[in-house]
Amino acid sequence: MSGPWQRVHPASPFVHGWLAIVGLIYVYYTNTDELSWSERFEGPRLGWTAAIGSAALLVILVFYALSWYFTRYRLSETHVYVNSGMLFRSQKQARIERVQAIDIAQPLVARLLGLAELRFDVADGSDSVMRLAFLKKADAHRLRGVILDRAHAARHGSAPPAPGPQTGTADHPAPAADTGQLIVSRVPAGRLLGSLLLRIPTIVGLLFALFFAVMVLLGNAGALAGVIPALLGFGGWLYKELNNSWNFTASNTDTGLRISRGLADTRQQSIPAGRVQAVKISAPALWRPLGWYRIEVNALGLGEGAESETLVMPVGDFDSVCQVMWILLPDLGVNEQRAVLHTALSTGAHHGFTTSPASARLISPGAWRHQGYLHTDTVLITRYGWLARVASFIPHQRIQGVTWHQGPLERRRGLAGVRVHSAGGSIMGYAHQIDSRQALELFEAQTHRAAER
């Protein structure tokens, strides 16, 4: 049984096209910048200005009204339909049982108006996203809940279970129902700002700012020419990091990991556990004394721009790392998962890790003790780096390719390396400068595992 066709919020076209009105005002002022304020809005010019401005505004408003009129959606027991477009019609549909998750996004203007956009993650391997924009925020959350409930019921042949109390162990927290999320990681504002101050781009930006300030104080006015591009570059990076990480929370749901974030633009994004291809945990050099880490993933089917949206924890302690990891990769193929994870993020050959031999000391004097790998029945874990540490986790069934390499210095010392590639992003496993015989065994074993699985 299908419900009636419904229209999005009347303000939706304005959220999409408010820049057109701003552009109209800008064009007028740039063409009359030689006139004074009184010349612009007095006498005959006032009538022409009012007439042309009103006509242009009327055209924009009519276009907005038609855009709103032709954008409709309908929810049935089996499908979600979204129709849009005036001259070029677009009709999209998604089967409810294939809906894996629904993200809720609020660009700045939509947030000011109390509106939200739904972005559907459908299990078809497509990079395109079906969008429904915009609804009142409360209506968007309500519609999202109804669709996910129906999707759960369609996949399991019954109504979704009611959320119950959370139980579990330290290594394996119990999953939460979608309606009863369990927050596993939250990034306080102080920690986020502190982590940004301890990033290399921030330090370089501050040093450049100090340099330009000194040059200007010494009377070199030409140094001001370098200030603007430096500020634009650093300011753009800083705003992007803040907007992607501000008010960041990670929650455990029955479909995987749900993250919520945003400063000006807010977004709730779901990452189904089955889409995760690889996980990278990194510890920048200045974060290590504080025990802070950053988690990124390769994931398939997250929609447009998916490869730029792989951050699942901007900064967190080891406990937060464990909580997020048990959602993304719940089975590392070992019994003491927390201890193995700790070894992967530190140094040593505990729990079966194979490390670089002493012959790698001259090539990598600072990093050779940390470099190593561990392969279990389910996943390959690699680690490398010196001042900054990186650990990668790739399930065997997600491996897309394996590369064996050996440079001239490595050849002289009986060393070699193995790179393991996955889909959905740039994260790779890297067993660096290990014994050449072990590297060949790892290469052949991972090639066999990848083919087997």
Domain assignment of residue 161, yes or no = no
Same domain for 269 and 171, yes or no, is: yes
Q: What is the pLDDT of residue 34?
A: 55
Boundary-marking domain end, from 131, 156, 181: 156
Q: Of 416, 418, 422, 419, give the one whose Cα is nearest residue 453.
A: 422
Q: What is the pLDDT of residue 390?
A: 95
Same domain for 267 and 284, yes or no, is: yes
Distance CA 395, CA 376 (A): 9
Work out the number of other CB atoms within 10 angstroms of the CB of residue 3. Answer: 12
Which CATH number characterizes residue 54's domain? 2.30.29
**Count of structural domains, the chain:** 3
**In sequence order, which residues have a C-beta less than 8 Å from that of residue 261 and are 6 or more positions away?**
244, 245, 246, 247, 248, 249, 267, 269
Domain assignment of residue 62, yes or no = yes
**In sequence order, which residues have a C-beta less than 8 Å from that of residue 20 and are 6 or more positions away?**
60
Same domain for 29 and 149, yes or no, is: yes
Domain assignment of residue 279, yes or no = yes
Q: What is the pLDDT of residue 2?
A: 65
Q: What is the pLDDT of residue 162?
A: 46
Same domain for 46 and 147, yes or no, is: yes
Same domain for 124 and 211, yes or no, is: no
This prediction's pTM: 0.78
Same domain for 182 and 138, yes or no, is: no
Domain assignment of residue 145, yes or no = yes
**Mean pLDDT for each 10-residue chunk of the chain (453 residues)?**
82 78 69 57 60 76 83 89 83 85 87 90 63 91 88 70 41 41 86 94 84 78 71 83 91 85 87 87 95 93 54 94 93 93 92 93 90 94 93 93 92 94 90 94 88 71
* 164 to 69, 179, 183, 346: CA distances (angstroms): 43, 10, 15, 37
Domain assignment of residue 24, yes or no = yes
Output the six-digit token pair for 239: 């705003």
Domain assignment of residue 181, yes or no = yes
Same domain for 185 and 90, yes or no, is: no
Domain assignment of residue 1, yes or no = no
Same domain for 36 and 116, yes or no, is: yes
Same domain for 226 and 337, yes or no, is: no
Residue 204, domain extent: 167-329
Same domain for 233 and 254, yes or no, is: yes
**β strands within 67-129, DSSP E:** 72-75, 79-84, 90-95, 99-106, 115-122
Q: What is the pLDDT of residue 166?
A: 39
Distance CA 282, CA 63 (A): 49
Domain assignment of residue 125, yes or no = yes
Q: Would you list the DSSP string of 262-280?
A: -SSSEEEEEEEGGGEEEEE
Same domain for 404 and 438, yes or no, is: yes
Same domain for 196 and 249, yes or no, is: yes
Which amino acid, residue 63? F
Boundary-marking domain end, from 156, 185, 203: 156
